[in-house]
Amino acid sequence: MTPIQKCVKEKDTKINPIWIMRQAGRYLPEFREIRVKNPDFIKLCLNENLSSEITLQPINRFDFDAAIIFSDILMLPYGLGQEVKFEKGLGPKLGELNINKLEKINKDKFSRKLDPVYKSIYKTSSSPILKNKDLIGFVGAPWTILVYMINKMSPKNSLSKKIFEDKLFIKKLIALIVKFLKIHVENQVKAGASVIQIFDSWAGLLEENIFEYIYEPTLDLVNHVKRLGVPVICFPRGINDYKSFCEEVKPDMVNIDYNIDPKKIINEIKIPVQGGLDPKVLLTNKENLNIEVIKYLQIFKDHPYVFNLGHGILPETKIEMVEELVKIVRDFK
What is the per-residue pLDDT for 161?
67
| pLDDT higher than threshold 90 for residue 109 | yes
* Alpha carbons 118 and 137: distance in angstroms, whole number: 10
Residue 103's SS3 state is coil
State the fold for domain 3-331: TIM Barrel (3.20.20)
Cα(first)–Cα(last) distance of the chain, in Å? 21
- Listed residue (137, 140, 142, 138) closest to 216, CA to CA: 142
Q: Provide the 8-state DSSP code for 97.
A: -
Q: Which are the contacts of 111, defined by CB distance < 8 A and separation ≥ 6?
A: 79, 118, 183, 187
Q: For 51-78, how does the pLDDT look when each residue is reduced to its tens digit (9 = 90+)? A: 999 999 999 999 999 999 999 999 999 9
Q: Are 198 and 219 in contact (CB under 8 A)?
A: no
**pLDDT value at position 87?**
82
Give the span between the Cα atoms of 91 and 93, in whole angstroms.
7
For residue range 191-242, list pLDDT tens digits in order. 999 999 999 999 998 887 889 999 999 999 999 999 999 999 999 999 989 9
pLDDT of residue 293: 98
Q: Percent of the chain beyond pLDDT 70?
A: 98
| pLDDT tens by residue, 127-181 | 999 999 999 999 999 999 999 999 888 887 567 666 777 888 899 999 999 999 9
Q: What is the structure's pLDDT at 166?
A: 83
